Chains A and B, each alone.
Chain A
């Protein structure tokens, strides 16, 4: 597959040095690999929210649903349940899915529905010019918190493991090999998978140097152990100046939500008029 065919004519408006480029480039390589493994390209569907991250669907020539801020997850779930043979990949930001749409994210994890969420976590609102987000550190000075953010950030890794996600990983937009490997594994995982990408916003919150000094790649063993996963997840709380582990925290096989509807598919044709008459019999004596 020639990945240049994945380009579109849309003009790219991300800032030079934006971490989103790494995610886009990794995605193209991942798509190539998925297709080479036998998934027809038309079976891949991307869903995005609103924010800088979301422009990714304009920049790649694949099926896509450019949805609303915070609403990637319910759209992706609808598509997946409609047709479980599709590979549904959601792209979302930290404001998008950890803020506006957090409830949806928690519930999708709870259902263990087989979709993948790639979170462009730059820990700042880029498109609306630099406000703090649910994962910004305490003291972050944005335009809505000029004297410093007073709230402690969420730890999305911990949240997602607790909510029932069966694949939880963190990676970094600096270093495409890891990014690609983790994205691919997440997409191939059967169940709800989420990848928190420390994606750097060069304009409003440039963390390249900060992350470069602290990140390390975890050893991945006992991935299905909840307690070990939680312990690893708590190694960095998105606030303290500690080492930042990257890689897969948790991975487990569990029944998925969309499977529960498969019996419906088996009887494809139902004569609706006849069915109505049949049901009506229950309503007469």
Chain B
């Protein structure tokens, strides 16, 4: 397996993100699968920020600790990361910014001098370093030129000029060969999810900025007009979800996105969706909590919260994607399920999947089939909450002739009129939570791969994971010939599929980004058990090496 890692770092505000994206595109155009892991602090300028770009000829979406090339915009980057360089590897640094007296081989690029000579603005300096990188990695100038032209929208000429200077000043260190694979698009989990919403027929996206879901708001706002999706950024998260419910009442498919703190504010709206049986899709991007926590770092601490959020009991659908293909798929499917069952769908992402960059292959997405909506046929007076066998009342939307459409946050009768009658209350509770959930569970277990199994399906040792940890676990499963079980649908818990996935497994190792092992605890409540846990809760995602080392000592 071909496997290279490049780390680029500098101060926040240095444009590390954009530079890493350009490198990712560059390497993707050579036929590689790429993955970019982003690490940045919660401030606009000054703090240390870096990205690791990993590429391979095989599908990967996790990072390694050792790197092949280090690109340092400041001394801190060199100091912090040079010990990660593999022996005899290469680094590129700004020699006008700091003098290096280390023992590694590297190329100093006098950025300030070059910019001055070319009369170029500060912001094009990354192009210069990318130029040096390309030379070092044996990438032809024409490929870089093409990539820069596509990726940079303003002042392309000067960017090309300084890139060429950087290219010429560097030397070839090794060669990242072009491989004969198709070049895939490169995008973040947020963007894949947004595309899934487009595919799923979303009409409206409403959000209040909060890392790591803000970029989903930005993405949909930018493609909204051409995709026929309205995008609104209102005063707070309470307005966000209540507006979404207003849209749904009028028949428009709406989704909202936030992180834990914003989701707390949305909880009364979530309960309202449960009581009034109004579909809504919620993206809950997890980060390191509790409270403000580490706003730009990752975590998987809201599994139980997502499942139990909101007051009262009602049916919901909770899923968590592990990569861009799953984000796309689940984006579309969550809209479908929310509208078929008239319930909230919650998509649990985290900072890793939301903001990391992946190669995305639309052809590898599972087949997406949409349900037929259950609508009122006009044969009898419209009852918004009509009792039915599967708990789903046929819907219609304002304005509808001959139908009075009443939804209600109070307990209500079939017409939507407030009631405190115990008989009606009991029937409505059963409709909302028992009957619907029973049918939903049956449907999802028949219709979707709620539990995915990878690696050696006959292995007696299995890794259990969910969400963004899937790719790193799959990579290790492949390497060590283990079974890997990913729970994609977390609620209603797909107990039959899970039991089947566990067949033949004698030892189950739970891998999660939280301190308590939430998925491990969840499966216990269904009578299953885990043997070991590998947990990480410092805000950082697992590297391949880290889990590998822990697996060895288990």
Contact = CB atoms under 8 A, between A and B. Distances in A.
B146 A285 contact: yes
Contact of A285 (B147, B191, B238): B147
Contact of B195 (A43, A86, A276): A276
Contacts of A82: 203-204, 246-247, 249-252
A66 B199 CA distance: 32
Interface string A49-93: 010000101100111111110010111111111110110000000
A66 B410 contact: yes
A42 B399 contact: yes
Interface stretch (A140-148, A228-236, A263-271): A263-271
B417 A279 contact: no
Given A74-B234, A75-B242, A10 B418 contact: yes
A280 B400 contact: no
Contacts of B187: 280, 283
Contacts of B227: 270, 272, 275, 279
Interface in A37-55: 40, 42-43, 45, 47, 50, 55
A66 B147 CA distance: 54
A86 B235 CA distance: 23
A104 B146 contact: no
B225 A285 contact: no
A86 B399 CA distance: 7
Nearest to B25: A285
Interface string B274-300: 001000000000000000000000000
Interface stretch (B155-163, B210-218, B401-409, B527-535): B401-409
B246 A75 contact: yes
A107 B235 contact: yes
A2 interface: no
Given A66-B406, A67-B272, A82-B250, A273 B199 contact: yes
A250 to B, nearest CB: 22
Contacts of A128: none
A8 interface: yes
Given A79-B247, A107-B234, A285 B418 contact: no
Interface in B58-78: none
B330 interface: no
User: Which of A104, A106, A268 is the most central at the interface, judged by chain B CB atoms within 10 Å of its CB?
Assistant: A104
Contacts of A42: 398-403
Nearest to A43: B399
A115 B296 CA distance: 38
Contacts of B184: 284
A261 interface: yes
A86 B249 CA distance: 12
B232 interface: yes
Nearest to B232: A81
A40 to B, nearest CB: 6
A284 B230 contact: no
A107 B239 contact: yes
B409 A74 contact: no
B551 to A, nearest CB: 34
A251 to B, nearest CB: 25
Nearest to B151: A285
A55 B410 CA distance: 10
Nearest to A285: B29
Nearest to B243: A78
B217 to A, nearest CB: 16
A285 B150 contact: yes
Interface in A9-54: 9-10, 40, 42-43, 45, 47, 50
A78 B195 contact: no
B245 interface: yes
Interface in B218-265: 223-228, 230, 232, 234-236, 238-240, 242-252, 254
Contacts of B246: 47, 65, 74-82
Contact of A63 (B151, B203, B254, B404): B404
B206 to A, nearest CB: 8
Contacts of B26: 285
Nearest to B22: A285
Dominant SS among interface residues on chain B: mixed
A83 B269 CA distance: 21
B242 A68 contact: yes
A63 B151 CA distance: 50
Contacts of B223: 279
Contact of A75 (B25, B228, B245): B245
A263 B224 CA distance: 11
Contacts of B407: 64-66
Interface string B146-185: 1100110000000000000000000000000000000111
B409 A83 contact: no
Nearest to B150: A285
A213 interface: no
B362 interface: yes
A33 to B, nearest CB: 18
A84 to B, nearest CB: 10
B363 to A, nearest CB: 11
Contacts of B242: 67-68, 71, 74-75, 78, 104
A284 B185 CA distance: 4
Contacts of A281: 185
Nearest to B146: A285
Contacts of B236: 103
Contact of B398 (A45, A57, A61, A264): A45
B408 to A, nearest CB: 4
B186 interface: yes
B398 A277 contact: no
Nearest to A70: B238
Contacts of B203: 82
A66 B230 contact: no
A276 B243 contact: no
A79 B199 contact: no
Interface string A153-168: 0000000000000000
10 contacts: A40-B399, A42-B400, A43-B398, A64-B406, A71-B268, A77-B243, A82-B250, A83-B251, A85-B399, A284-B184
Shortest beta-carbon contacts, A-B, top 9: A78-B246, A82-B250, A74-B242, A283-B185, A78-B243, A42-B399, A74-B239, A75-B246, A66-B408
Interface of A: 8-10, 40, 42-43, 45, 47, 50, 55, 57-58, 61-68, 71, 73-83, 85-86, 103-104, 106-107, 261, 263-264, 267-268, 270, 272-273, 275-277, 279-281, 283-285
Given A57-B406, A81-B243, A276-B362, 15 more contacts: A71-B268, A73-B239, A76-B246, A78-B242, A82-B246, A82-B247, A103-B239, A263-B225, A280-B187, A280-B360, A283-B186, A284-B183, A285-B26, A285-B147, A285-B151
